[in-house]
Amino acid sequence: MVENGLLGFGTVTYNIARDMDLDTLLEVSQRVGLDAVELRTTHAHGVEPSLSAAERADVRAKLENSPVVLAALGSTCEYHSPDPAEVEANIEETRRFIELAKDVGAMGVKVRPNGLPDDVPVDKTLRQIGEALNVVGPVAADAGVEIFVEVHGHGTADPKNMARIMEVCEHPAVGVTWNCNGTDLVDGSIRETFPLLRDRVKMVHMHEMASDYPFEEELFPFLLDMGFDRYCLAEAAGLGDPERFLRYYKALFDALVRLAAEARG
């Protein structure tokens, strides 16, 4: 249930909840009132492709008994390397995460580019990433899950470059995780950049809410206008106790979403 009645809110385990096992994470998420979580690989929750069939069934049962949605498995799979063998290894790792997502009941798998290699034409790399996504997209669709490409990395975090990747990859199971980067901003605004990816936005990562990023003024109105029914996920450093931090973060998120909704009339 979306508590503010408008946009769904949750957290990425990256930094904030990295040291919580799955039971603790789900308990804290329920107490705070989170709608969803994204489980970043290598963290204490332990939801990894190495899990056995029995362990996957146990994870799925815990999630099915929780009101908290598993929005994504946060892999670090990436396809920008100039080494074809490395790209293929990342594609195979993505396949393993897709199978895991299917088994545990995740909505999808987050992947990312992590930058533009030196001495390689930019469009060659962007096309290569898009073509790799065209390989994993059908695999995800067959498994009943999706691929969320984080707008991430030096150069690849530029929405214009991510739009080029999405132009190459047209598969409907592949979309983007809007990442609230400084590179989104043109004169402090996302009015030029958000429309480039609007139709492919499947998730949102949010960093520092108390910042100059136009959450209330632009991002939340844009999401509300498009009927966004996925999740805005906190990905921040946190301060001290994670549960206490998430309560404050959620309160600020809910307040800004309501203000954005009221301003729309």
151: three-class secondary structure by DSSP:
coil
Q: How far apart are CA 20 and CA 12, in angstroms?
A: 12
Instruction: Give the model confidence (pLDDT) of 126-179 as tens digits.
Output: 999 999 999 999 999 999 999 999 999 999 999 999 999 999 999 999 999 999
User: What are the structural domain ranges in the chain?
Assistant: 8-264
* Residue 265 binned pLDDT confidence (cut-offs 50, 70, 90): confident
pTM: 0.96
Q: What is the mean pLDDT of the chain?
A: 96
Say if residues 10 and 69 touch (Cβ distance below 8 Å).
Answer: yes
Instruction: Give the model confidence (pLDDT) of 174-212 as tens digits.
Output: 999 999 999 999 999 999 999 999 999 999 999 999 899
Instruction: Give the model confidence (pLDDT) of 29-50 as tens digits.
Output: 999 999 999 999 999 999 999 9
Say if residues 24 and 48 touch (Cβ distance below 8 Å).
Answer: no
* Residue 1 binned pLDDT confidence (cut-offs 50, 70, 90): very low
Residue with tokens 């060659």: 124
CATH 3.20.20.150 corresponds to the domain 8-264: yes
User: Minimal CA–CA distance to 211: which of 188, 191, 232, 230?
Assistant: 188
- CA torsion 49→51→53→58, rounded to 10°? -120
